[in-house]
Amino acid sequence: MKLQEADAKSLLVEQGLPVPGWDVAHTVDEARAAAERWFTAGADKVVIKAQVLVGGRGKAGGVKLASTPEEAAEVAGAILGMDIKGMTVRKVLVAAAAEIVKEYYLSAVLDRADRRILLMGSAEGGVEIEQVAEEHPEAIIRRHADPLLGLLDFQARDLAFEMGLGAHLKAAVAIAKGLVATMRAYDADLVEINPLAIVREIGPDGTTNEQLVCLDAKVTIDDSALGRHPGLEDLRDPDEEAPEDREAREAGLTFIKLDGTIGCMVNGAGLAMTTMDLVKRAGGEPANFLDIGGGARADKVAAAMRLILSDPKVDAILVNIFGGITRGDEVAKGLIEARGQQVRDVPMVVRVVGTNAAEAAVLLEEAHFQTAASLDDAAAKAVAASRAAQTGPAASPGTVS
Ligand code: GDP
Ligand code: MN
């Protein structure tokens, strides 16, 4: 689950990290009022930032400065409702604009290959890190945190020095360790600060001082760990979830989209994995992982079918049900119902064994479904159907009938 910048920043603040204050505004009037508060508090400019779950908002025109409450309202009016990479902006962050001296990059990610938290830092902040990784990979400093001991002080100091943050060592060490603490506290798989910035502050007496602060924040939480953090689920932005992910979550289905052409509908995670392996062995590529779970009723099966068919690349479907708690006839009814609502005519191969398999067979035969006796047979038939769809004159991938 991706968090909006403002929510991500709240988590950083809870972990004691230095983040300049902000307000969230949903309307032009709220933005004007927030800007007025920042100006009254002494800001000479405010920054208005689109709250959408995509990177590169700055480049897309979603981050703007304003010098008066009126200008802030104008800018907020332009940003609210803006489309950034397919996402509509529904709220903005309003804060006193920082005077940036230099921008850095610092992130913590879950390194699955190493099974540890990986810290990545760079003096080339503000720009997209993927670009830095491609053009100057040596400009990214990496340190792994120990699973038991966390990020050790000497590692954090090393990282800070190599990033060129020697003059802000204490703050940089605290922030690096704070990112690891944030990863652990919320089961995050990414905590990214870009830019981590040295900002200049002018005190009421005219003296200036420089501070290292988190000016942007991106946090993603491991969905499977949300049960451990009841409050976090409320931060989910249903608007910005991929439609198929939302439908899957609401229907209680475990669905992961893949790159192939054969849609798979299976009950049980283990059987779903096996089915995908057999599709590959038969020469095909699965379009998804989909576990409809135990005891799925007809409506759940129909939802699963809609999900599979929402992927235009799918040109054949393999249904593999081992009826235990799940009743074969319920699945068959679901398939028949789903086909009735289906907008695309995609060949389907169905294998149902176990509970009420005989009743299922009768229903499926009456409805003229193609069935298979064994799983190997089903995989072979699905792969053949997909090939025929790709090479045959009758249909090409993505054909809508
Ligand atoms: P992103 O483009 O979605 O990553 O959004 P960011 O929050 O990182 O903002 C993009 C850029 O806007 C930053 O790299 C800064 O250069 C600039 N920016 C953001 N906040 C401020 C601010 O408070 N003051 C100034 N002067 N620039 C800012
Ligand atoms: Mn950024």
Rounded CA gap, 89 and 398, in Å? Answer: 31
| Amino acid, single-letter form, for residue 18 | P
Rounded CA gap, 92 and 26, in Å? Answer: 6
Q: Which helix (H) or strand (E) holds 23?
A: strand 23-25
Rounded CA gap, 95 and 47, in Å? Answer: 5
Rounded CA gap, 95 and 24, in Å? Answer: 9
Pairing verdict, β 92-96 and 23-25: antiparallel
Active site includes 105? Answer: yes
Ligand at shortest distance from the CA of 56: 1
Rounded CA gap, 180 and 108, in Å? Answer: 6
Pairing verdict, β 46-50 and 63-66: antiparallel
Q: Name the H helices within 233-327.
A: 243-251, 269-281, 298-309
Helices (H) then strands (E): counts for the chain? 12, 18
Closest CA to 36 of 63, 64, 69: 69
- DSSP states of 52-76 as a string? -S-S-TTTTT-EEEESSHHHHHHHH
Q: How many CB atoms lie within 10 A of CB 400?
A: 8
Rounded CA gap, 61 and 82, in Å? Answer: 9
Decide whether any atom of ligand 1 lies within 6 Å of the 225 Cβ.
Answer: no
pLDDT at 324: 87
Cβ atoms of residues 93 and 6 within 8 Å: yes
pLDDT at 396: 47
Rounded CA gap, 182 and 190, in Å? Answer: 9
Cβ atoms of residues 338 and 251 within 8 Å: no
- DSSP states of 75-117 as a string? HHHHHTT-EETTEE---EEEEEPPEEEEEEEEEEEEETTTTEE
Decide whether any atom of ligand 1 lies within 6 Å of the 55 Cβ.
Answer: yes
Active site includes 192? Answer: yes
pLDDT at 341: 81
pLDDT at 240: 66
pTM confidence score: 0.76
pLDDT at 149: 92
Radius of gyration of the chain (CA): 26
CA of 196 to the centre of ligand 2 (A): 9
| 293-296 CB contacts, 8 Å cutoff, 24+ apart | 293/252, 293/253, 293/254, 293/267, 293/268, 294/267, 294/268, 294/324, 294/325, 294/326, 295/325, 295/326, 296/267, 296/326, 296/330, 296/331, 296/334
Q: Of 30, 192, 244, 330, which residue is the catalytic one?
A: 192
CA of 126 to the centre of ligand 2 (A): 6
CA of 120 to the centre of ligand 1 (A): 20
Q: Which of 48, 51, 63, 192 to mutate to test the pocket of ligand 1 (most atoms within 8 A of CB)?
A: 63
Q: Name the H helices within 116-217.
A: 129-135, 153-163, 169-186
CA of 194 to the centre of ligand 1 (A): 8
Question: Tokens 């799918």 correspond to what residue?
Answer: 314
Atom of ligand 1 nearest to the CA of 20: 23
Q: Which of 12, 93, 94, 100 to mutate to test the pocket of ligand 1 (most atoms within 8 A of CB)?
A: 100
Ligand at shortest distance from the CA of 22: 1
Closest CA to 261 of 289, 281, 284, 233: 284
Angle at 236 between CA 85 and CA 103, to 5 degrees: 55
| Cβ-based neighbours of 270, under 8 Å, separated by 6 or more | none
Decide whether any atom of ligand 1 lies within 6 Å of the 12 Cβ.
Answer: no
Predicted confidence pLDDT, tens digits, the chain (401 residues): 999 999 999 999 999 999 999 999 999 999 999 999 999 999 999 999 999 998 899 999 999 999 999 999 999 999 999 999 888 999 999 999 999 999 999 999 999 999 999 999 999 998 888 899 999 999 999 999 999 999 999 999 999 999 999 999 999 999 999 999 999 999 999 999 999 999 999 887 889 999 999 999 999 999 899 999 999 999 988 776 778 888 898 888 999 999 999 999 999 999 999 999 999 999 999 999 999 987 778 888 889 999 999 999 999 999 999 988 889 999 899 899 888 887 788 999 999 999 999 999 999 999 999 999 899 999 999 999 999 999 875 544 544 44
CA of 111 to the centre of ligand 2 (A): 21
